[in-house]
Structure 1
Amino acid sequence: MPGIRGPSDYSREPPRHPSLQINAKEPFNAEPPRSALITSYVTPVEYFYKRNHGPIPIVDDIERYSVSVSGLIGNSKELFMKDIWRLPKYNVAATLQCAGNRRTAMSKTRTVKGVGWDVAAIGNAVWGGAKLADVLELIGIPKYTSSTPSGGKHVEFVSIDKCKEENGGPYKASIPLIQATNPEADVLLAYEMNGETLNRDHGYPLRVVVPGVIGARSVKWLESINIISEECQGFFMQKDYKMFPPRVNWDNINWSTRRPQMDFPVQCVICSLEDVNVVKNGKITIKGYAVSGGGRGIERVDVSVDGGKTWVEASRFQKSGSEYIADDDSKSDKWAWVFFETEAEIPWSAEIVAKAVDSAANVQPENVEDVWNLRGILNTSWHRVHVQVGHSNM
């Protein structure tokens, strides 16, 4: 493709922060320490998880780079960055989460396939770019359109990225056309992250950001946009990122029986403590993040220091100095995570548990066994941390 290319090896990878926990080197997949996530409501780019399926694409000439838009529409069009930049720019605070976040805990129940993520395959950023609804309007698709005259009902995003899962072909995914043409869905063609130009790991020069949906649908290094009649038929839509019940294994799986996963369920994680932390004096502060897909707010976060027998409600907040109210877009960022915090006295040792409830009254399941699936996605079971108190002799 003019201006950008997907290399065949890993000899020109970008630099990364040394504190990242590397879960796979080639392709590079890494997450920050969990404690880093709660230091800032907006996750610094260097601490934002890196999820890749191949070598990082290289931009040789930004002036020649373009995105083709074609398919079940009247006329195809080539969009250059200058065309995207001319459109109104929007900044959207949105949390992206890999569907495999917390997979490591799920694998302790039974073996699963996939990158061994701990709890930090998630991050919250302010994405800057053009709304996809405005881009599609440029090619003659009005806002709030669910079907084109030629039968287009889905928007497919194709990357320059090359993946072994696609036999060397590009990474791709799709969303419904009605979501793409709805300005209130805030789907972006983003060229900025936290006020700066996207870096290579996160999709430079242009990526899709689909708020409230698993990260697998926010395609990076965008090459083309296709208006299609059915969901994308690529590997990551049809043979991955689907939620199966615990009884399904690799011998009896039938991928066609499940739809591709889109919205992610309600989730919360304790970030201020690691397993087997030793704390002093018995009083501790418990902090973490909570988030739900589809733009649903966080109504409550409950914390227990006795394994779930008794609970206290934690305080919730987003930006300091501003009250958080679930589902109040004038006060809160609807697509972004919420931080929670509480203090507690704990005995000699404790199992600390956190669970969240979203504004639709969805609650996290108690046990990981109940949501176990062979691909290890969407582990939203209660998050548990075990700690001990080290008593001073003073």
Structure 2
Amino acid sequence: MDFTLALTHFCETHGPRSILCTQVLPLECGRCLPPSPALHPQSSTESLRTHVHDPDDASHSIPSLRRHDTNTTLPTDFSRASTTVDSDPESVSIERHPYFKAFHADSSPFRYGRGQSDAYRHTNTAPVLRSREFVCLGTDRATQERSPGSSHEPKSASASSSLDALLSPHTHTHADDCHDHTLTYLTSKSPESPLTYATLRNSVVRTLSCELLPRGMSDGPFCFGDSTTGYTIAHSFRLSDPKARGRRRTYAFVALAGTDASRAFKACPLIWDAFANLAKSIEAMATRKQEDARRQQEEQEATKGKRNYSSASSFLTKRQVEPDGTPRRAGHTTPRSLSEIVGDDHIFAILHQYFVALLKCLGDRFGGLPLADNRSIYHILAAEQAFAIQTPLPANTASVKADVASHVDKFLTCTKTISFDRNHGPIQHKCPQQHRIIVDGLVGNALCLSVQDLATDFDQHTVTCVLQCAGNRRHTMRTRIKEVLGVDWNDAALMNCVFEGPRLRDVLIAAGVRVSASQHGQVGPQHVQFASYGSKTQEDDWYGASIPFARAMDNEMDVILAIKMNGEALAHRHGFPVRSIVPGVLGARSVKWLDRITVSDQESPCFYQQRDYKILPPEVSDKQTADAFWSKLPSMLEMPVNACVASPASHSIVRRSDSGMVEVQGYAVPQGHQGPVTRVEVSADEGKTWVDAQLDDGGEKASKWSWVLWTVQVPMEKGCGHRIFARATDAGGNTQRKAQSTWNLRGVAYNGYEAAFDLTVL
């Protein structure tokens, strides 16, 4: 983890300067590492096993740049914030670490005055942004030591390891070669280490003043350096600014990659791609800011009339200020902070988050301390609209490009190859020994439960069920009816798995839930809220959902707090160490990385419960119109009965058998709690005749919540433009009745029986 990332700027007053740089604080631990050298670029010579990870203090949340405190904690009193670099009680306090700078009461984080540029501020009062991550590190040097320059592929925490190992009675002990650390990512104006400062300074000067891009290119990537001074990976870009000399300002992202040439060049594509997308996003923000400013100016001129200024120069008139009141000096151009140019006070906190994510990915792929087994970080950074939501974009898989046939080839979705993964924020990494779930609200006694408590103090219950995104088949609604808003899911945004954990009902009873509170004139429980505070989401500062209290307390509804999935501990991307599982309803109510359960008379106030996942009427055609409907419509709960064709896929070429038959395969799911699916009918002649399909209900593994897989042979005529219809019927008598569902703006709950189209039959 010896990469250093920086954002740099060619200041018109002070020349090439570093605006901010992000590093990982060196670990000082006698058990696993010798005293760490100063942070400077070099090739890593050791690798350490990473078992579990946890972004402590909700470190993925964007720190408020108006607060004079660098701690970012959960919005409750159970944050358990750590203030040490090492878990050893004798380790150095992070506030005493030489790389730590505290906020000063008179400092305004990254908001510079008119007389100062991005690159210049009183160094001693510059603010610091930091994030922490819990890691359990083991030495085992005999087998893991490697030579400089060798590639490194750290082994991530195995999801197949037994839960007993994760939830041992000694919750705060580890193996002999494993102990805890809190790694800290620090973002400051410049490195404290003189050597790293000098290296970065030289790289910045060469990047912004010496290196030339190919003719005709003003922005772009390049790399330079040698094995003595180290290698620099950079991407320069320019921002349009009417107040700058030449109406443009020059910036560059810089990565110090150490002296190992092989590793530096292998890292180039990843870093260049990440830097390029960040630069594009910043440029787009600056452009929007200018357009907004121009519109405001035009509106003011239309309202108040355009002011006329003398065309005489300031040299002749001795004017001391600009028309807008800015002091004017000889040769002076108006300095502006990057936050002013892009119109976002949080831009530096956002950049800190992305730099942290990129450092994790670099450490995982190219050596140093392996920090995360989340291999989707690179794709998060490479997303086109990286800055549209001011947080790392969520990792969503099983989109329109997913292979539906391979996704449903087995009754139970394989844990190792699950292609469906829906997230509204970054994937969280929590330590199972330290994680706690709070149970509060309308209960007799609030609980604070560990994962071990859930595994040992309550009866374990197993449920086989489908977890399905509300937008499953959204691509069909978008392409067959008209455009909708949302992730472009095809027919594979679901999975069928076995989940295990205590019933939610048992946990609430243990908390003394006030079932009869309303009989005593008090407010009775109506809803059970789930909350995850570990990261900022696309539309809110946290993620939350709720279900009716009656459903939570009904044994027949099988609502559990899952700690296992298909017999193994949950994977990080599926909610490790604990998530809620609410069978029969949209997957958005099965909250991952569960932190809190609240019994309440109100639904969850989270954005995703109040202003999303509702079926809007057809007359609502845009976001602005939808605003008047969110509070009037009920939240989605149970998903409709549905049947989908996995093979043949739409737009494909199909070959008939000698008897003129075509084999059709797919899956079907019941409506809510009214399963299982009892019948699937298929038609290849526009619904004139229907053929019953053969069902595979999973045998002993089946439940009323699971899907069925089906197959059937149907006759088809040669030609183009053929369609295949498939309709399911469940035990409750629910069936699909329309070829295409009623359109809604969010594209949710689609269950039209037109399942494959535009087929060419040979």
Query: Under a length normalisation based on structure 1, what TM-score does the superposition of the two structures give?
Result: 0.87
Q: Aligned partners of 2:517 and 2:707: how far apart in 1?
A: 32
Partner of 1:327: none
For 1:39 and 1:138, the matched residues in 2 are separated by: 41
Answer whether contact 1:34 1:120 (CA < 8 A) is retained.
yes
Q: Confirm or deny that 1:14 pairs with 2:335.
A: no
Larger RCO, structures 1/2 (Cα 8 Å, 6+ apart):
1
Residues in 2 aligned to 1:252 and 1:375: alpha-carbon distance in whole angstroms: 13
Q: Hey, which of these two has a bigger chunk of strand by percent?
A: 1
Residue in 2 that maps onto 1:195: 567
Contact 2:614–2:633 under 8 Å retained in 1: yes
Q: Does 1:130 align with 2:502?
A: yes
Aligned residues: 371
Equivalent residue number for residue 135 of structure 2: none
Quick one: which amino acid aligns to residue 665 of structure 2? Answer: K
Corresponding letter in the other structure for 1:288: G
User: Is residue 266 of structure 1 aligned with residue 641 of structure 2?
Assistant: yes
**Residues 648 and 654 in structure 2, CA contact (< 8 A), matched pair in contact too:** no
Tell me if structure 2 keeps the 8 A contact 1:66–1:80.
yes
Map 1:140-179; keep pairs closer than 5 Å: 140-141=512-513, 145=515, 150-167=523-540, 169-179=541-551
Aligned to 1:178, the other structure's residue is in SS state helix
Secondary structure at the residue paired with 2:421? coil
User: Does the C-alpha gap of structure 1 residues 334 and 4 become closer, same or farther in structure 2, counting only changes over 3 Å?
Assistant: farther
Tell me the CA shift for residue 345 of structure 1: 2.5
Runs (5+) with no aligned partner, structure 2? 1-53, 62-352, 359-371, 377-381, 387-392
**1:363 CA displacement:** 1.9
Give the deviation of 1:150 after TM superposition: 4.9
Take 2:569 and 2:537, find their aligned partners in 1: how far apart are those partners?
28
> Which residue does the alignment assign to 1:299?
678
> How has the CA–CA distance of structure 1 residues 302 and 264 changed in structure 2, closer, same or farther, with 3 Å as cutoff?
same
Looking at structure 2, the residues matched to 367 and 344 of structure 1 have their Cα atoms a distance apart, in angstroms, of 18
Q: Which residue of 2 aligns with 1:30?
A: 397
Give 3-state SS (helix, strand or coil) of 2:439's partner: strand
Task: Choose 1 or 2 for highest CA Rg.
Answer: 2
Residue 284 of structure 1: aligned partner:
662
Q: Cα offset for 1:273?
A: 1.3
Instruction: Give deviations 1:203-237, integer Å, cap 9, x for gaps.
Output: 00000000001101000000111111111121111
Deviations 1:111-134 (A, max 9, x none): 211100010001100001111111
- Paired with 1:76 and 1:2, the residues of 2 have a C-alpha distance of 25
Distance 1:2 1:80 in 2: 17
* Residues in 2 aligned to 1:265 and 1:304: alpha-carbon distance in whole angstroms: 20
Separation (CA, whole Å) in 1 of partners of 2:739 and 2:620: 18
The answer on whether the counterparts of 1:23 and 1:115 sit within 8 Å (CA) in structure 2 is: no
Runs of 4+ in 1 over 6 A off after TM superposition: 1-4, 22-25
Q: Work out the percentage of aligned pairs sharing the same amino acid.
A: 35
Cα distance in 1 for partners of 2:57, 2:728 equals: 42
List per-residue Cα deviations over 1:280-337 (Å, max 9, x = no partner).
3342211111112322222321101112222111122212xx4xxxxxxx99411101
Relative to structure 1, is the Cα distance of residues 23 and 265 closer, same or farther in structure 2, using a 3 angstrom cutoff?
farther
Q: What does the per-residue CA deviation read over 1:150-170, in whole Å, with 9 as the maximum and x for residues that have no partner?
A: 522211000134344443x11
- Secondary structure of the corresponding residue to residue 58 of structure 1: coil
Structure 1: gaps of 5 or more residues: 17-21, 323-329
For 1:4 and 1:119, locate their aligned partners in 2 and report how far apart those are by CA, in whole Å: 38
Q: Secondary structure at the match of 2:647?
A: coil
> What SS is found at the alignment partner of 1:252?
helix
Give the distance between the partners of 1:4 and 1:146, measured in 2 at CA.
37
> How far has the Cα of 1:90 moved from its partner?
1.4
- Kindly indicate whether the alpha-carbon contact (under 8 Å) linking 1:114 and 1:376 is maintained by their aligned counterparts in 2: yes
Q: Residue in 2 aligned with 1:94?
A: 465
Tell me how large the CA RMSD over aligned residues is: 2.4
Does the CA-based 8 Å contact 2:560-2:580 persist in structure 1?
yes
Partner residue of 2:411 out of 13, 16, 41: 41
Q: Quick check: 1:57–1:160 contact (8 Å CA) kept in 2?
A: no
**1-structure distance, mates of 2:516, 2:554:** 9
Corresponding residue of 1:382:
753
CA distance in structure 1 between the aligned counterparts of 2:464 and 2:57, rounded to whole angstroms: 27
User: Do residues 114 (structure 1) and 486 (structure 2) align?
Assistant: yes
Contact 1:172 1:234 in 2 (8 A): yes
Do residues 211 (structure 1) and 583 (structure 2) align? yes
